[in-house]
Amino acid sequence: MPSLECHEQDVEADAALLAAAATWCDRYTPLVAIDGRDGLLLDITGCAHLFGGETALLEDIETRLRLQGLQARSCAADTAGAAWAMTHYGKARQVAPGDSEPVLSLPLGSLRIDEETVSGLARVGLRTVGCIAYMPRAPLAARFGEALLERLDQALGREEEALSPRLPVAPLMSEKRFNEPIVHEDDIRRTILLLARNAVPLLEQRGLGARVLALKLFRTDGEVLSLTVHAANAMRAPERIRALFDERLAALADEFDAGFGFDLLRLDIIETDPFDAAQGDMLSRTAAGEGAGALIDRLGARLGPERVRAFAYADTHIPERRSGLIPVIRHRGGDPAPQPADGAATRPIFLLNRPEPLEVIAEVPDGPPIRFRWRKVPYAVLRSEGPERIACEWWRDGRGALTRDYFRIEDENGYRFWLFRHGLYERETARPRWFMHGLFA
């Protein structure tokens, strides 16, 4: 066949195309699963009436895919096995619930069993699903395995088959379809506000507020644009939700491409938290804490949620690991650092990024220093307090990690330092080393 055009198979490109088609099928149902290398399974329970019935839905899927240059065969059935069998071996586009007759006439390969089992059944004269549908089960299982009976029961609706969606289903969602695609950003923003207002009653019924939201914009040419925003605190205000997506759209700038327009917009509320309705300010008419929360949300939407960070305490006693910066979206607050009852600070306000080595003179090896040199500058110790002993974290640093003895030091000029001796003399090391770790105000 000289006119036949051949190309090497690109498995990764095929998988990417199938994943893109699965994302596009989210317009019909959020329950979309990838089936092998060439198929998709859609759970359209409760969705078909939105498209005028199952027949209209299948026609819409095939027509839209054909306009994108893809040929597809579809079938609606009450089991995934029956739908798969019809698209690969049959001709029916719909199988009525409880009707197994169309499947019984199909070859045994339609049961999604391996070729070896099909060949073995053919050798004993069994070639269609109907040949084994009502045979004694024990001999079939003994000769051909339990997998054959499982696939048979799944195809005929005798056994449930779980569908594993490729993406988690949002607990709450709101969508808007358009007869004429929309292109302008102003129309998109107005639609976002409408979707947010529709979602608020659902949140109120459950006593929840939105923390993570995703906006999916379905283009007429099959592309799907997804925007995700994070909120510092649970929120319900539609205007705030719209403002977050305004920032995301502004951050996209020239990258935002509406193509020939969007015919479907969907707002998914992915994560929620219990909503604590704060008392509002009667003068400014803003809720308590809304200003800081709104600022954090806007910065996160514009710069990325991982770039807006807050201080948080960690469950450790090693000073440099005691606190750190984490994204605000994962920050839930924490207890303040413990302080003595009299209010005196036992830890310095300023810690060095890394402890810096010192040259120290001490009266006894395990006593406080009387002189030390730091950054080539000598210091004479006037007062010292300590030691405060901090053991190592052997589960993290290993069994050979050394103990620290911290001292609070004041020199002749009134400067106060926080330094430590690394290693217990004669118990852990013969030559302990000294390090500067922090400065008191």
Q: Identify whether 290 is part of a domain.
A: yes
180: domain CATH number? 3.30.1490.100
Instruction: Say whether both 147 and 32 belong to one domain.
Output: yes
CA separation for the pair 240, 230 (Å, rounded): 11
Rg (CA), the chain: 34
CA separation for the pair 30, 264 (Å, rounded): 14
Structure tokens at 161: 């088959």
pLDDT at 338: 52
Instruction: Say whether both 65 and 143 belong to one domain.
Output: yes
pLDDT at 109: 93
- 25's torsion region: left (phi>0), alpha (psi -120 to 50) or beta? alpha
Instruction: Say whether both 178 and 296 belong to one domain.
Output: yes
| Burial track 237-276 (b if 16+ CB lie within 10 A, e otherwise) | bbebbbbbbbbbbeeeeeeeebeebbbbbbbbbbbbeebe
Instruction: Say whether both 297 and 184 belong to one domain.
Output: yes
Helix (H, G, I), strand (E, B) or coil at 253: helix
Backbone φ and ψ for 246, nearest 5 degrees, come out as -60, -45
Structure tokens at 365: 């090896």
Instruction: Say whether both 134 and 53 belong to one domain.
Output: yes
Instruction: Say whether both 106 and 27 belong to one domain.
Output: yes
CA separation for the pair 13, 337 (Å, rounded): 53
At a CB cut-off of 8 Å and minimum separation 6, what does 148 contact?
A: 111, 113, 117, 132, 140, 141
Instruction: Say whether both 94 and 44 belong to one domain.
Output: yes
- 195-to-41, 181, 204, 238, 303 alpha-carbon distances in Å: 28, 17, 15, 8, 24
- 378-to-89, 230, 360, 372, 431 alpha-carbon distances in Å: 88, 51, 10, 6, 21
Instruction: Say whether both 30 and 111 belong to one domain.
Output: yes
**pTM across the whole model:** 0.64
pLDDT at 113: 93
CB 436 within 8 A of CB 396: no
188: DSSP letter: H
Helix (H, G, I), strand (E, B) or coil at 39: strand
Q: Identify whether 11 is part of a domain.
A: no
Instruction: Say whether both 331 and 394 belong to one domain.
Output: no
Structure tokens at 397: 């640093």
pLDDT at 37: 87
Q: Identify whether 384 is part of a domain.
A: yes
210: part of which helix (H) or strand (E)?
strand 208-219
pLDDT at 262: 93
Q: Identify whether 67 is part of a domain.
A: yes
Q: Identify whether 287 is part of a domain.
A: yes
CB 212 within 8 A of CB 12: no
At a CB cut-off of 8 Å and minimum separation 6, what does 287 contact?
A: 277, 278, 279, 280, 281
CA separation for the pair 210, 424 (Å, rounded): 53
End position of a domain, from candidates 132, 156, 180: 156
Structure tokens at 181: 């695609």
User: 317 lies in which domain range?
Assistant: 308-338
Instruction: Say whether both 295 and 312 belong to one domain.
Output: no
Beta bridge partners, 371, equal 361, 380
Instruction: Say whether both 25 and 151 belong to one domain.
Output: yes
- Average pLDDT, whole number, for the chain? 87
Residue numbers of the chain with a pLDDT score lower than 50: 282-283, 285, 288-289, 334-337, 341, 343
pLDDT at 334: 46
CB 235 within 8 A of CB 209: yes
End position of a domain, from candidates 98, 128, 156: 156
pLDDT at 289: 45
Q: Identify whether 343 is part of a domain.
A: no
Which residue type occupies 305? P
Q: Identify whether 72 is part of a domain.
A: yes
Q: In terms of residues, how long is the chain? A: 441
End position of a domain, from candidates 156, 181, 211: 156
Q: Identify whether 166 is part of a domain.
A: no
Instruction: Say whether both 295 and 238 belong to one domain.
Output: yes
153: part of which helix (H) or strand (E)?
helix 146-156
pLDDT at 332: 55
The total number of structural domains in the chain stands at 4
Cis peptide before 336 (omega within 30 of 0): no
